[in-house]
Chain A
């Protein structure tokens, strides 16, 4: 079964850091680009970051650029999101999602999603 399982969310104070992880199974992880998408409570979807199959290309939303870093370990079938200098507006459910293709742009959309991990930034 194709599956993505996120972990690492929690309650964190503004300005602190958190690292999210996503464990993939049931497919050849190193053949596909991967993404993080978030959804604030009661709001729409916001693409956060993406990484190509061999980590050669990465992209970030303007709202997180310079604070968040995406990475992957193909040997461990895992995707990560290092989140630094967290702000209240980063509070959201964070989804890990698989791309239909290997490249990061001009591919087919996000066809497999995890159930998400919740990040709450509050003092």
Chain B
């Protein structure tokens, strides 16, 4: 099975900060990676698919990059509504796997 790791596991940041979250796959997954945002008590929301494609309706301050085993999610300027937990997920092969999550909270 493909294992997904994320770093950092948590981060404190301020409104306006630029934030990078990294995700690493235990083997190559080409560009079959998605990023999700989840707020407490809510279902996850798709932000990025195919490593770098912005999901419709998602603000352009979110961007994704990477291929193979190393990926990143960047938020160019954190907004108050961006404080949440972020997960990566590989969709290259069964079983699909999510990363452990990165919690972003307010400094």
Interface residues of A (CB under 8 A from B): 35, 37, 44-47, 50, 59-62, 95, 100, 104-111, 113-116
Contacts and interface: CB of A to CB of B under 8 A. Distances in A.
Given A45-B98, A95-B43, A110-B34, 13 more contacts: A44-B99, A45-B101, A47-B89, A47-B96, A50-B94, A100-B49, A105-B93, A106-B32, A108-B34, A108-B53, A109-B34, A109-B89, A110-B89
Interface of B: 1, 30, 32, 34, 36, 38, 43-46, 48-50, 53, 55, 85, 87, 89, 91-101
Contacts of A50: 94, 96
Query: What does DSSP make chain B's interface, helix, strand, loop or mixed?
Result: loop
Contacts of A35: 96
Contacts of B94: 50, 59-60, 104-105
Contact of B91 (A37, A44, A106): A106
A44 B9 CA distance: 12
A60 B95 contact: yes
A81 B96 CA distance: 17
Contacts of B100: 44
B95 A109 contact: no
A108 B85 CA distance: 20
Given A45-B87, A46-B98, A109 B43 contact: no
Nearest to A100: B49
A108 B38 CA distance: 18
Given A50-B96, A105-B92, A109-B49, A44 B43 contact: no
A114 B45 CA distance: 11
